[in-house]
Structures are given as C-alpha cells and as structure tokens.
Amino acid sequence: MKTDDPAKIYLLPNLATAGNLICGFLAVLKIFEGTLQRQAGAENWARTYEASLYFILAACIFDLLDGRLARFGGRESAFGREFDSLADIVSFGVAPALLVFKIVLAGLPNRIGWIVAVLYLVCGALRLARFNVYAAIDSHTSSKEFTGFPIPAGAGLISSITLVILHFYDNIPALEAGYAKYALAGLMIFLSWMMFSKVKYPSFKSVNWRTQHSIPKFILVAALLFLVILYYKWMFAVIFISYLLYGFFRPFLSHAWRREIEEEDEAEDHADGTASHKKA
C-alpha cells in the first residue's frame, strides 16, 4: 500500500477515526454521569455505565473500519496514523481506565486503584507511540500481525468483562460488596504487560471477504453472529478472551490452520506489507 503526502487527508478512513474519537468522548461523559447517579443513590447508575461500555465497543468497530477503508483506498497517510493514535488513546486508554477506576479500583486501599488505572493508560499510550515510531522508520513493516496485545482489543476485553460484572450488579445487588470484581485490577496489570510482550496476534487486515467458504464454516460464522446478538452481554467477553488466548496457542498451529482461522488472502503474501492507516 502506497504512502502519500503526510498532510494528505482521506475522507472515509478519517471519518471512521472521528467516529472512534466521538464514541470515546461519549463514553467518558457517560462514566461521569453514572458516577454522579451512583453517588446520589439512583437505581439506574449501572445502566448508565453500561451505555459507556457500548460506546467503547462501538469505538472498536470504527477502529476496524478505518483501517479497512484505508486499505480499500490503497493508500495510507501519516496524518491518518497520528489521528488514529489520538482517537485510540481516548477511546481505548482513557475511557476504559476511567470506567474501571470508577466502578472497581477506587475501592482499593492506599491509592492502588489509581496506580493500576494510570499504569494501563501509560502503557497504552507508549504502545501507540512505539507503533508510530516503527511505522515511520520502516514503512514496509508487515501489517498482518501485531506484536503484543493491541490496545483496542485490550479495551474491548476490559469493557466486555465489566459489562458482565454490571449485569450481575443489576440483577443481584448484593454482589457489589464482593471481592471478585477486584480481579479486574489484575487483568489491567496483565494487559499492560501484554501490550509490550512478544506474543504475535493476527490483525485480520488481510481477510478476503470475497473468499468462497464451505457450508460448515458459513454455518459456524452465522451461529456465532446469532449468539452475539442473543447473548451480547456474554459473547463479547468470550470473543475477546478467545482472541487473547489465541495469541498463546498460535505458534503451535500449522501454517495451514492459521491461514484457515485468520482467513488470509493468499495473494497478500506477495503484496507489499506496508503498514496500513490504523495501528495496534
């Protein structure tokens, strides 16, 4: 994919990035609104926090779209890469860290909560900065995989698990006083480390949507979509946890199996591996 004038702005990819940023901003607003409702003793505070989670998950969708749109256009721009990083740090850094801090971490003693939240935020920002530096130095870096867990997936994992926790809070209020929720603190520390790990994750940027699939695979994908729609409060967590674990099992899979799972377009193997509009 060709790199263009650094000042060049491509409309569709950057509109998707703007959608990502707007969703992140709306998520932050909903977090503050939910906090005020919780402090006032309102009954629907968990629903307001839920709305912020949906905005974060919507930002993940926009983040997927901007890279795909840039790839369809066959070009990338330095402007798009930097704009995407700024949007990502709001939607996938600030919003998830603030959300988990307000719901869970603020109850930890000795300021441990804000230290964990800040650790996640700083590690996310450093990962985005590192990616941009590598992309600027070597514009032919492969865009088919990420080294380390990508921050949008980290935010999706945190948000989806928090969504499950809020579901229990809403149905069984007594659980709010339990300690199981503090496992989120450990998860955030683990994800902070995973962002800088050497574990490889597929980017799914080379998926060929025109590929003809077998009937069993089509049925499997259709069933998965049906389950996501029917049990969305659970299935998002299942999907992001599966992606996290896949990185650990991926090295032990044959190339054929990996190609089948990741739906790589075989023609892409010989195409230029220039990094696309979006990043880890």
Say if residues 190 and 52 touch (Cβ distance below 8 Å): no
Q: What are phi and psi of 144, to 5 degrees?
A: -80, -20
Q: What are phi and psi of 2, to 5 degrees?
A: -85, 135
- 167: Cβ–Cβ under 8 A, 6 or more apart, which residues? 233
Bridge partners of 202? 145
Q: Which two tokens stand for residue 141?
A: 């870096």
What's residue 225's pLDDT?
A: 84
Say if residues 148 and 193 touch (Cβ distance below 8 Å): no
- 202: Cβ–Cβ under 8 A, 6 or more apart, which residues? 144, 145, 146, 246, 250, 258, 261, 262
Q: What are phi and psi of 196, to 5 degrees?
A: -110, 10
Task: Give the end-to-end CA distance of the chain in Å, rounded to a whole number.
Answer: 17
Residue spans per domain, the chain: 2-270
What's residue 132's pLDDT?
A: 84
CATH 1.20.120.1760 fits 2-270, yes or no: yes
Residues of the chain with pLDDT under 50: 1-2, 266-279
Bridge partners of 75? 2
Say if residues 278 and 20 touch (Cβ distance below 8 Å): no
91 vs 20, 120, 154, CA distance in Å? Answer: 7, 13, 11
Q: Give the pLDDT confidence of 51-81 residue by residue, as tens digits.
A: 999 999 999 999 988 877 776 665 667 788 8
What's residue 66's pLDDT?
A: 82
Question: Cα separation of 10 and 113, whole Å?
Answer: 40
What's residue 275's pLDDT?
A: 40
State which amino acid sits at residue 81: R
- 28: Cβ–Cβ under 8 A, 6 or more apart, which residues? 52, 90, 94, 95, 98
Give a three-class secondary structure readout of 82-130: HHHHHHHHHHHHHHHHHHHHHHCHHHCCCCHHHHHHHHHHHHHHHHHHH
Q: Give the pLDDT confidence of 230-272 residue by residue, as tens digits.
A: 887 888 899 999 999 999 998 888 777 777 766 655 444 444 4
N residues, the chain: 280
